[in-house]
Amino acid sequence: MKIKYITNIDVYNKLSAKEEKTEDEADTLSYVEKFLKYKKNVDIEKLKESLMSTFKLSEEVAVKLIDLKPNNKDELIAVLNSYNIKVDDAQLDAILDTLQVL
C-alpha cells in the first residue's frame, strides 16, 4: 500500500465538501479547522511540489512544513531535525521565504 501525505487544507476541503458526515469525520473537520494556517487562495499542491523539487524534500516533510508553517529559523530547524535533515542558513532562509505565501 502506498502512503499519500495530504495537508490539513486537503483534509478540510474533502470533509467540508461532504454533505453528510460521520461523527469521526465531523470531529476531524472540527479539529483541522483549529489548525489551518493558510490564506484561502494559495495553491497548496504547487507549493508542495516547489518544496519537494527546489529543496529535495520528501512529500512527508513538505506536507509537514506546510501544515506547521514555521515562522522562523528555530521552528524550521526543529521540524527539519525531526527528519534528520540538515541545511545551511541560505537554504533555511529560502525555505522560509517560500512558505511566506501561506
pLDDT in tens, 23-50: 999 999 999 999 887 776 789 999 999 9
10 Å Cβ neighbour count for 54?
A: 12
The pLDDT tens digits for 74-100 are 999 999 999 999 999 999 999 999 999
Domain boundaries, the chain: 43-98
Q: List b or e across 13-32, with b for residues whose CB sees 16 or more CB atoms inside 10 angstroms.
A: eebeeeeeeeeeeeebbeeb
Model's pTM, two decimal places?
A: 0.87
Q: Are 49 and 81 in contact (CB under 8 A)?
A: no
For the packed helices 8-17 and 23-35, what is the interaxial angle rounded to 10 degrees? Answer: 140
Indicate if the pLDDT at residue 66 is higher than 80.
yes
